[in-house]
Amino acid sequence: MPGRTAFDVHVADLAEIALPLLDEPHHPRLRRYEHQHTKDWSATVEASDAFVFVTAEYNHGYPAALKNAVDYAADGRRRRRVVDGASTDAS
């Protein structure tokens, strides 16, 4: 994205997407999705250049729903920038 001066933001709320946990019968790297919700999520990811994840910390990590969504979107063929951050400051 060198030289880019503007970008569009699309909010993808996993609660609204309702991507079930471990819902596809095939490994994500095969991209042989059977369910429409996974196909839709894959298309959203494919159209993106970068991601910013905003999530609560859960047992010193990120929630299973986010891990599931990332796993089912990752095919390893295209590198994307990811920004993630968590704050444990409760003040």
C-alpha dist (Å) from residue 59 to 34, 50, 63, 70, 73: 32, 26, 9, 18, 23
Q: Does the pLDDT value for residue 10 go beyond 80?
A: yes
- Tokens standing for 80? 């994307």
Q: Does the pLDDT value for residue 1 go beyond 70?
A: no
- Is residue 3 a part of any domain in this protein? no
- Is residue 80 a part of any domain in this protein? yes
pLDDT digits (tens, 9 = 90+) for 43-77: 888 888 777 888 887 788 888 888 888 877 765 54
What is the residue-averaged pLDDT of the chain? 77
Tally the domains of the chain. Answer: 1
- Is residue 1 a part of any domain in this protein? no
**Residues 7, 1: Cα–Cα separation, whole Å:** 10
Please give the pLDDT value at position 61: 80
**Residues 33, 10: Cα–Cα separation, whole Å:** 23
Query: Angle CA(63)–CA(10)–CA(32) in degrees, nearest 5?
Result: 65
